[in-house]
Amino acid sequence: MRKTSERSTDSPVTVAGCPRSTDSPGTGPEFQHSTDSPGTEAGSPRSIIGPVTGAGCPRGESYFIQEITDPRRTLASSVLVTGGELPLCSVRLTEPVPIARIPDVMKEIRKMKVEAPLESGTVLIRDVLGLGSNVIATKTIRRIKDTQ
């Protein structure tokens, strides 16, 4: 019962699991998985990996190298709101962070409590855990009208 979704294991390494931002190649934004792009000199991720083939879009190759050398993800969750029309405000990271740090970032988000009103886009945690990414509110929450 180990029939999981198939992954190509062809050699040389074949790009699989490219995020589907490829609908309009060249017109979408670059996925910013890392600020420093892997180089080609000896000992760099690129030279360790060897030739990369099978990229389905212009971004495929850099995505692939990023994905196996320093995989990063964004994160979406929510924080508790007091005095708001909704009990929760959704939040997200502005930049992807290393996958291994996602649980730590989640812990920081869980600690948060915010007071309504709140504008979408407000920075709730600047440079969370020094990872170069902000936690921002993604919903505008109005303050609940004071009851009599």
Partner 1 sequence: MKQEIQDLDVLIIGGGPAGLAAALRLRQNGIENILIAEREKQPGGILRQCIHDGFGLTRFREMLSGPEYAERFIREAEALKIPILTNASVTEITPDRIATVVARDGLRTYRARAIILAMGCRERTRGALAIPGSRPAGVFTAGVAQAYINLYNRMPAREVVILGSGDIGMIMARRLTLEGAHVQAVFEIQPYPSGLTRNIRQCLDDFGIPLHLSHTVTKVHGERRVTGVTVQEVGDGFRPIPGTEQFYPCDTLILSVGLIPENELSLGAGVKLDPHTRGPIVNERFETSVPGIFAAGNVLHVHDLADYVSLEAEELADAVTDYVTGKDLPDCSVSVTCDKNINHVIPQTVSLRESVNLSLRVNRPLTDVKVAAVQGGDVIAKKTLKKALPAEMISLHVPKDRILPGKELEVRIL
Q: Map the footprint of partner 1 across residues 20-49, applying CB under 8 A.
A: 20-21, 23-24, 27-29
Q: C-beta of 110: minimal distance to partner 1 in Å?
A: 9
- Whichever of 39 and 121 has its CB closer to partner 1, that residue is 121
Q: Which of 49, 140, 143, 144 binds partner 1 (CB under 8 A)?
A: 140
- d(CA 122, CA 140) in angstroms, rounded, equals 9
Q: What tokens does 73 get?
A: 């993800």
- d(CA 55, CA 58) in angstroms, rounded, equals 7
Q: C-beta of 56: minimal distance to partner 1 in Å?
A: 6
Does 128 bind partner 1 (CB under 8 A)? Our answer is no
Count interface residues toward partner 1 (CB under 8 A): 38
Does 73 bind partner 1 (CB under 8 A)? Our answer is yes
Q: Are the beta carbons of 59 and 18 closer than 8 angstroms?
A: yes
Q: Are the beta carbons of 145 and 113 closer than 8 angstroms?
A: no
Q: Are the beta carbons of 16 and 8 closer than 8 angstroms?
A: yes
Q: C-beta of 103: minimal distance to partner 1 in Å?
A: 8
| Listed ranges 33-41, 42-50, 87-95, 123-131: which one lies at the site for partner 1 (CB under 8 A) | 87-95
Q: Are β-strands 72-73 and 97-98 bridged in parallel, bridged antiparallel, or unpaired?
A: antiparallel
